[in-house]
Every structure is written in structure tokens, then in C-alpha cells.
Amino acid sequence: MVARGQPGALTPDGDVFHTSRQAVTDFSATLAAEMKPAPFRYVAARSLEQALALKAEHGDEARFLAGGQSLVPTMNFRLTQPAMLIDINPLKEFAGMRRNGADRLHIGALTRYRSLERDPATARELPLIGEALPHIAHPQIRNRGTIGGNLAHADPASEMPAIVLTLGGKLRAQSVRGERWIEAADFFVGALTTALAPDEMLMELELPVAQPRSGACFMELARRRGDFAIIGVACTVRLDAEGRCSEARIGLCNAGDTPVVVAAAGDCLVGTRVERPQIDEAAAIVQRSIEPGGNVHASKEYQRHIAGVLTARALACANERAGREH
Amino acid sequence: MSTDTHDITVTVNGTRYQRQVDARMLLSDFLRHDLLLAGTHVGCEHGVCGACTVIFDGAAVRSCLMFAAQADGHAITTVEGLAADGERLHPLQEAMRDCHGLQCGYCTPGVLMTMKAFLDETPRPDEAQIREALSGNLCRCTGYQHIVEAVALAAERLRS
């Protein structure tokens, strides 16, 4: 950032500029003029109607600003240069959790991770999310980051898309044209790409609540606490009255261009008492099915290996938890 | 593209400021260059290092991942607001000094603000909780050991 001719920079002769108080103030003003994100128009939404009307007018040129914890870094690098930011943080009515009947929960898109962490209902009703929350970045990020922003960002390495997909959730989108519900299986269409139309806003998601005789487990491996997962695995296991598996689902993050559920791996457990051979078979199916991309932290082969290891561990754990719920 | 500016009123360390800011002015840059509160440090500018952490409406947040315009009507505490009277250090600052919790000091303002919000919420932390709460602040000097000891000591002193 320090350019030639600025205080603290070297002159062509190698002398250091003398730094006076005035020079520091001038330098600060210069730095302030060199702001990192490209120019954009900022609108703090006063109502949902206004936010949706602006999005309908500007389409892909406009982005909704929720927590900003994924969007703003990309703007600071100028990888993203929206012409307009529609700040939806003032629309506080779209935050919070509410029960819908005996077995469904709705989470508003503006719900911040920290409020999910603080709500005892999260661990009780949505144990998969409760277990994944500490893995999601760091406390400061979770203080701002929202569940809707995370899902709309659709990073395949992120935890929440894989969890919502594993749980078979539904997402509600709204625009000036009306609203629609989108199945999680249809929502994540590519890396950082969702089924949302350019004029749509993600409003809330609906998830099934944990049922009796069911268990869930989330595990991930990252280089450091809070880093993106090398591989993350979400498992749910449901047992019948005899203790046999009646349903099992296994989802993964960072195992392809989108979050994935390996249906065949879950299906091979149905009707069995989940023991070592079945668990190993499911893990092997996961390893064969995924297409991890590999990166500087882990090769594709290593990701595949870890996916098998974590699948086996998470399945065994979810199965044991389901058994305890008898 | 013409510049999009916004008039904001923001309370920082108990003082109300009225300023005009560009839409794209980051909160971190606003604090440092506009309010000349340069105690908030800027490291990575993409939310990884934690040096720019401030307390926004009671919660520790990355000021490099917010825009100044978003702070309109909100209250912020920076490291300059930590010592209540400007004479005596905050117990966290005292404990950091007593335990050698800093060397170069670059990460320290972010560490202090993160730990302030953490201890407000968790007055009796165990070591694992302290390490978890510190996980979003990078320090390249200390190896964290002395920071963890300082936070534990500060928690003890704040309770008594």
C-alpha cells in the first residue's frame, strides 16, 4: 500500500521521508481514498417490498447484504463488484426460529449463527446443526453470519448447505412476482450457484425436527479450527422398534461442486442392524461416489480417504445416539 | 460511477460522531482514517486474522467485513474505549502485560476486544473455552500460551 512519495516510503535515493503529524494525517486521507471494494450504491432496506422492488429492477447487478461474511471478503479483493448492495439487516422480522406443527421448524434467513448457538432448541431439535455450528468459521464471523446468506452463497465447502441437503429441507424464495418453495435437492445447482432467480430473495428454510429413535452426527476435518473443511460429513440414522435402521442419510461438504448426499450409502443400511460391516460398506460407497476437487490443503485422494474415515465414524456415532433414544 | 455517500451517526466509545461516508468505506478504515482511532488494526482484510475486531452492539465482529454506512445508529467499542478512565488499564490489558501476552502487539487490539465480549458473556471460562473463543484471532509471536494465561487471570480478577 505504501507508494513512492508517501511518508514512510523510500525515495529513489533510499532516504526515508520524514514523518510529521501532518504527514500522517495526509497519508491517512490518501489511504482512505484508496478504498478496497469497487464503487457501489448502498441502500439500507426499509421494507421487504422495497428490497424486492430494487432487486427486481437491478437483477444480478444488485446483491443482498446479509451478514456479509462471505460477500464482503470477495468485494475487498474485487472478485465481486456489484453495482448495488441492498442491506437487509434492518429487516429484523426475518430472523428467528419458529415451530410449525409437531415435526417442522422454520428458520428465518436473517437468523445469525450465534443466535442459533445460544438457542437451546437448536441442539435439541436440530442436533446436526447444533454439532456443526462450532466448526463454522470463528465466533466473530458467527456473530454476523446468517443462515440465509450462507445458503444463498452456496459454497460447496460450507457446512450448512450439506446439512440442509442431508435433512431434506425446503427453502422459500420471494420476489415481486410471488413466492415459491424449493427443495434443497434442487437448490444447489453448482459452486456458488443456486436455483434463485435474479429477482428472488431467500426468505426462510423449513427443516424436519429430530424424531424419536433417530440420531445425528456431524464431523469434519480442517487444517485449523474454523477453516474450511477438507471434508465434512453429516449423518442421520433412524431405527425401527426392533433397532433396525429404517432410514439413513449421509451428506458431505467439499466433496464436489455442490454439497452432496450419497443416497446409495444410506440405503445400504436400511433394514440392517448397523454394525461394522454395514458401516464399512457405506463408507466405501461414499468413497466411490464423490468427486472431490482437491486443493492446496488436500489432494483428491486424501479427501476421498478422509470422506471414508469420517463417514464410518459419524455413522457409528449417529447409530449409537439413535439407539440411546429408544 | 458517481460516488454514493451517506450521512451516518455512530457512537464510538461513548462519543457520538456525525460523518459523511462513501458507501464502500469499510468500517475498519472509517475508524482508523476518519475518526483517527488507529488502535483498531487491519491485517488480512478478509475476515481471517481478527486484528480488526471491534464490539458492535455488544458482539465482537470483524470491522473489515462491514461498511461504515451499516454502523449508522449503532454503538461500537474499540480498544481505545477499553480502559474506562484512560488512566488505569482494563483488567484484560493489565493481565496481558503481567503474563507477557503480547510481543509485537499487532494482534493485541483484536484479541482484547474479542476477549472482552467473551468474558462479558462467560465470566468463568475454562481453558478450552478460552482457546475456542480465541480461535478467530491469529497471533504470530506468542504461540497463544501467554494470551490464554492472561485471559484466565483477567477473568479471575474481574470476578473478585
Domains of chain A: 92-208 (3.30.465.10), 214-324 (3.30.390.50)
pLDDT digits (tens, 9 = 90+) for A103-158: 999 999 999 999 999 999 999 999 999 999 999 999 999 999 999 999 999 999 99
Contact (CB<8Å) B72/A31: no
Predicted confidence at residue A224, as pLDDT, reads: 87
Predicted confidence at residue A26, as pLDDT, reads: 61
Q: Burial-class residue B25 by CB neighbours within 10 Å (0-12, 13-18, 19+).
A: buried
Domain locations along chain B: 5-81, 91-159
Distances (CA, A) of A186 to A161, A207, A253, B11: 12, 15, 16, 44
pLDDT digits (tens, 9 = 90+) for B44-78: 999 999 999 999 999 999 999 999 999 999 999 99
Least confident of A7-11, A280-284, B13-17, B97-101: A7-11
DSSP character at residue B66: S
Interface of B with A (CB under 8 A): 1, 3-4, 6, 22-26, 29, 32-34, 36, 45-47, 50, 53, 56, 59-62, 64-67, 69-70, 72, 114, 118, 132-133, 135-137
Predicted confidence at residue A120, as pLDDT, reads: 95
Predicted confidence at residue A304, as pLDDT, reads: 98
DSSP character at residue A177: T
* Of the partner residues B34, B114, B137, the one whose CB lies closest to the CB of residue A32: B34
Angle at B61 between CA B58 and CA B67, to 5 degrees: 110
Instruction: Write out chain B residues lying below 8 Å of A73, CB-based.
Output: 45-47, 65
pLDDT digits (tens, 9 = 90+) for A159-184: 999 999 999 999 999 999 999 999 99
Q: How confident is the model at residue B87 (pLDDT cuts 50, 70, 90)?
A: confident
Whether pLDDT at B33 is above 70: yes
CA distance B159 to chain A (A): 23
CB atoms within 10 A of CB A325: 13
Predicted confidence at residue A225, as pLDDT, reads: 85
Angle at A193 between CA A247 and CA A116, to 5 degrees: 60
DSSP character at residue B144: S
Which residues of chain A, if any, have pLDDT below 70? 1-35, 325-326
Average pLDDT of chain B, as a whole number:
96
Instruction: Write out chain B residues lying below 8 Å of A144, CB-based.
Output: 59, 61-62, 65-66
Look up the pTM and report it. 0.91
CA distance A152 to chain B (A): 18
Q: Burial-class residue A283 by CB neighbours within 10 Å (0-12, 13-18, 19+).
A: buried
**Hey, is A112 helix, strand or coil?**
strand
CATH architecture, range B5-81: Roll (3.10)
Whether pLDDT at B103 is above 80: yes
A79 — contact with chain B (CB < 8 Å)? Answer: no
The secondary structure of B76-102 as a DSSP string is EE-GGGTSSSSSSPPHHHHHHHHTT--
Whether pLDDT at B142 is above 60: yes
Instruction: Write out chain B residues lying below 8 Å of A31, CB-based.
Output: 29, 33
A33 — contact with chain B (CB < 8 Å)? Answer: no
Distances (CA, A) of B22 to A86, A144, A199, A311: 15, 22, 26, 49
Instruction: Write out chain B residues lying below 8 Å of A114, CB-based.
Output: 59
Domain B91-159 matching CATH 1.10.3720.10: the answer reads no
C-alpha span between B54 and B63 (Å, rounded) = 6
CA distance B119 to chain A (A): 13
Q: Is the ipTM of this complex over 0.85?
A: yes
What type of residue sits at position B134?
L
The continuous run of DSSP H or E covering A104 comes out as: strand A104-108
